[in-house]
Amino acid sequence: MNRLKNSQIYKACCYIFPIILFLYPLRHINMGLDLADTGYDYANFRYGLEHMDSKWFFSTYLSNVAGHFLTCLPGGHTLLFMNLYTGIFVSLLAFISYRFLTKRMEIPEVFVFIGEIAAISLCWSPTAVLYNYITYLLLLVGVLLIYEGLTQEKEVYLIMAGVALGTNIFVRFSNLPEAGLVVAVWAYGIICRKNIKKVVRETGFCMLGYIGAVFVWLGYISLRYGFTNYVEGIKGLFAMTETATDYKASSMLYGMFSDYIENLYWLSRILVFLIPGMVVCIVLPKCRKWIKRLICVFFSVTAMVWLYRNEFCKFEFYSDGDIYRSGVLFLILTMFVCLLRILTSKAEKNEKLLAGMIILVSLISSIGSNNRLLTSINNLFLAVPYVLWMLYGFCRKPDIRLFAAKAMSVMFLALFLVQSAGFGIKYVFAESGRNIIIDAKVENCGVLKGISMSRDKADWMEELAQYVSDRQLVGREVILYGNIPALSFYLEMPPAFMAWIDLESYGVDSLETAMDKLKIKISEGEELPVVILNCNLLSDTETNPPEDIKLSLIFDYMEEYGYIESFSNKFFVIFEAEK
């Protein structure tokens, strides 16, 4: 390894690696048309509180502020430039992690680079969902500041760490559990056998920064929007769990731990192949080493083949589900490796601290989201490089008795890294599927300029954009239904009250309240909004009344104000009020 590090090629690569890590997250910024999450978030950034449900505005306040700032930058009204600007947050995550692990932890650059590429590749969530990536960024900053504060005994770093974690509450309100990182302060105190008063003092500095940040941001929001409005918005966040049960704390925790438990099935099958190799290496001391190694490699390869044939992993990359099981198994491996390192007496104290915080990050990342462990898989920027380095050290141990575990670890990591690379190269959010070719563009819509997508979507959007342009509907308010909230951003039509009213978290009572307010505005002379629906919703409503209560409310509203169908194609239908 030392000979490699001293080579001129390696030194040149060390300059190139950070550049690649900064650019790699931007590889798909010109690809894919998502009719839901991506454009929905960009519409919220552009149009803000006036056209957004208050509970989401306040519960993800700083994400919306940051997103709105991006829309004010050059090209911020287009999908291409917004993908570029939000993609830089992933670049920062990889770059900061790379610098820390190579400079402070002194892990060789090549291991960190490979690990960061894998972590970036596993970022399935669109970068438009800024409350995810800003959360990860501030969580990473908090972890690194706690590490520096404890290892260098600089209390100002602990205060700054508290500020980062306290600020994260206003990036996404469900980031409250991140306060649990204070456990690292106590764990490190136990490892270093610190005086209890010193540990309490360090905890106090963390909490000082945390509480201070909370009060500063809460004070600012209260002065600008009113404290009552903020409280009502957050209360609405808790109330939504009546309809969106997957947002309940119990559901989130159950989803997270049930996935770990479910994946123990695959882990137990790997052990079935691992144990015979271990028996050969331990019980048969007189057997030649090369024969033992060959047997262990055979069982390891057989295990991976068995996993593939039983659909543990897929190499089609049509959805995030293709990498889910291997991602969860890697999380289990991460926790095992980190826990083992913590319990190893020879490990340095600062390394134990980092290992413990990687475990905390892996657990905390999934809390506050209804995506189960996918959010933890989306945030492996510290975990992958660290695990690669630890397993490299493990594989260098000459003890033949460990060879079976070494072979199985190498085989699984090879499978995991190959899957990660394939997923990162091929997967494009909302455009993945069999026989989908992303080579078409919409030429008559400025927001979508330079974006490649599937031919069907390009045809639908081009027809819709042409009609909106011909009718001069740009700037008109719109009601969208059928999981097409992104049209608000793409067509530059602000939502009348909420872009994505299909969401379970947006209850029927919320829609009724919003429509009552809209009717008041109409009575005061405000122009009636345009209504755009997904055609698939209308297939059964021609002969039977819609069973969807929200859709029924929209139809009742259109009937009351005399709306007529003015445009339709294979995917969208537009209704406008008769003048």
Looking at residue 249, what is its pLDDT?
64
Cα gap 89→104, rounded to integer Å: 22
Q: In what order do the strands lie in the sheet with 530-534?
A: 478-481, 530-534, 572-577, 563-568
Tokens 């575990």, residue? 405
The DSSP-derived string for 97-132 is: HHHIIIIIS---HHHHHHHHHHHHHT--S-TT-HHH
347 close to 356: Cβ distance less than 8 angstroms: no
Using DSSP bridges, classify how beta strands 572-577 and 563-568 pair: parallel, antiparallel or unpaired. Answer: antiparallel
Spatial distance between the Cα atoms of 364 and 174, rounded to a whole number of angstroms: 10
Whole-number Cα distances in Å, 416 to 165, 267, 314, 331, 337: 31, 14, 11, 11, 16
Task: Look at residue 98 in the predicted model and tell me its pLDDT.
Answer: 97
Q: How far is CA 438 from the centre of its chain?
A: 23
* 250 Cβ contact list (under 8 Å, min separation 6): none
- Residue entry with tokens 């099935």: 265
**pLDDT digit string, tens, across residues 351-366:** 999 999 999 999 999 8
Q: State the pLDDT confidence band at 436, using cuts at 50, 70 and 90.
A: confident
Residue 534: DSSP 8-state: E
pLDDT of residue 536: 85
Q: What is the spatial distance between Cα 8 and Cα 19, in angstroms, rounded to a whole number?
A: 18
pLDDT of 202 reads 95
pTM, entire model: 0.93
Whether the per-residue pLDDT at 311 is higher than 70: the answer is yes
**Which two tokens mark 122?**
């596993």
pLDDT in tens, 374-408: 999 999 999 999 999 999 999 998 888 889 999 99
Among 202, 199, 134, 127, smallest CA distance to 165 is for 134
Residue 245: pLDDT band by 50, 70, 90 thresholds? Answer: low
Task: For residue 576, give both structure tokens.
Answer: 């406008």
Q: Which tens digits make up the pLDDT trace of 73-116? A: 999 999 999 999 999 999 999 999 999 999 999 999 999 999 99
Whole-number Å distance between alpha carbons of 36 and 554: 19
CA distances from 349 to 183, 245, 396 (A): 15, 42, 22
**pLDDT digit string (tens) for 132-158?**
999 999 999 999 999 999 999 899 999
List the one residue out of 447, 470, 467, 448 whose CA is nearest residue 457: 448
Q: Which two tokens stand for residue 366?
A: 């999934």
The pLDDT, as a whole number, for residue 247 is: 60
- pLDDT single digits (tens) 148-207: 999 998 999 999 999 999 999 999 998 998 888 999 999 999 999 999 999 999 999 999
446-498 residue pLDDT tens:
999 999 999 989 999 999 999 999 999 999 999 999 999 999 999 999 999 88
Q: How many residues does the chain have?
A: 579
pLDDT tier at 566, thresholds 50, 70, 90: very high
311: left (phi over 0), alpha (psi -120 to 50) or beta: left
In percent, how much of the chain has pLDDT > 90? 70
Contact, 534 vs 572, CB < 8 A? yes
Backbone angles phi, psi at 519, to 5 degrees: -65, -35
